[in-house]
Amino acid sequence: MKPKQIIINAMTVDVEDYFQVSAFEQCIARDQWETLPHRVEANTNKILDLFSKHNVKATFFVLGWVAERYPQIVKKIVAQGHEIASHGYSHQRATLQSPQEFRDDIVKAKDILEDLSGEVIKGYRAPSYSISKKNLWAQDELFKAGYLYSSSVYPVRHDLYGIPDASRFAYQCESGLLEIPVTTVSLFGKNFPAGGGGFFRLYPYLLSRWNIQQVNNQDKQAAIFYFHPWEIDPQQPRQNEASLKSRFRHYLNLHKTEKRLDRLLADFQWGRMDDTFLK
């Protein structure tokens, strides 16, 4: 009898600070970013310690703006054996950018991250999964800029993002770029989010674990999980001017995230995006 194959899932972190999320863009102006308390370095260090505890290697999609101000974060991530990938420079949703603005943003971020890391940056993730059917030209621009893969499509129906009928698993774009969608489960002919973020904080942990088990055992595919440094930080400054819906999404169960991550890292096998999908 052949031994059961162990599937290595991809663990990813979108490295941005709490004030840079799209949910707060109406109440926090970009020219305020420098003046606000920065918490991304301390939170990323906590994540690195958590990964070290479980001997997990991951992919960090780092915002260029953050890398410029905290180059030591990039260097520490690389030194500990993780992959550095790009989250763009300015955390501007791709759906709000012209092709030229998008091109400038992804090239600037790639240059910064390569200079700091000493490595070729292969991967990209759009802020708020903002590659949709309306701007598929972004995949062409990414490939032209030298990226090999993107993880910017969420095959769900959502008020802020998503391509519901996109493939649930990695596929080659016409340009040659490999698109690796965030994980979903298919139930009753509909895709449900199962790749982390706010849904990891919303669902009971056992449901999140079951979702990934379904992808591994039924679909025989690697799952892609993501979260942000601010999601393990319940003490972050509150944005009371944000809408009720935005505050609910952002602050829900922050105090539970770190313990849930600890369980998740122990319950499954995890690795880097490049090792999982580019080998």
Residue 153: CB atoms within 10 A of its CB come to: 27
Query: What per-residue confidence (pLDDT) applies to 179?
Result: 98
As a whole number of angstroms, the longest Cα–Cα distance in the chain is 62
d(CA 133, CA 145): 20
9-277: which CATH number, 3.20.20.370, 3.30.360.10, 3.90.1150.10, 3.90.1170.50? 3.20.20.370
Angle between helices 99-117 and 71-79 (to 10 degrees): 60
d(CA 253, CA 147): 35
Token pair recorded at residue 7 = 């599937």
Mention every residue, 6+ apart, whose C-beta is less than 8 A from residue 43.
229, 230, 232, 233
Query: What per-residue confidence (pLDDT) applies to 2?
Result: 46
Terminus-to-terminus CA distance in the chain, angstroms? 26
C-alpha to C-alpha distances, 223 to 73, 97, 193, 272, nearest whole angstrom: 26, 29, 11, 11
d(CA 125, CA 204): 26
Query: What per-residue confidence (pLDDT) applies to 189?
Result: 87
Helices (H), the chain: 40-53, 64-69, 71-79, 99-117, 137-144, 198-202, 205-217, 244-251, 254-267, 273-277
pLDDT 10s per residue in the chain (279 long)? 444 578 999 999 999 999 999 989 999 999 999 999 999 999 999 999 999 999 999 999 999 999 999 999 999 999 999 999 999 999 999 999 999 999 999 999 999 999 999 999 999 999 999 999 999 999 999 999 999 999 999 998 766 667 888 999 999 999 999 999 999 999 988 999 999 999 999 999 999 999 999 999 999 999 999 999 999 999 999 999 999 999 999 999 999 999 999 999 999 999 999 999 998
Query: What per-residue confidence (pLDDT) applies to 156?
Result: 84
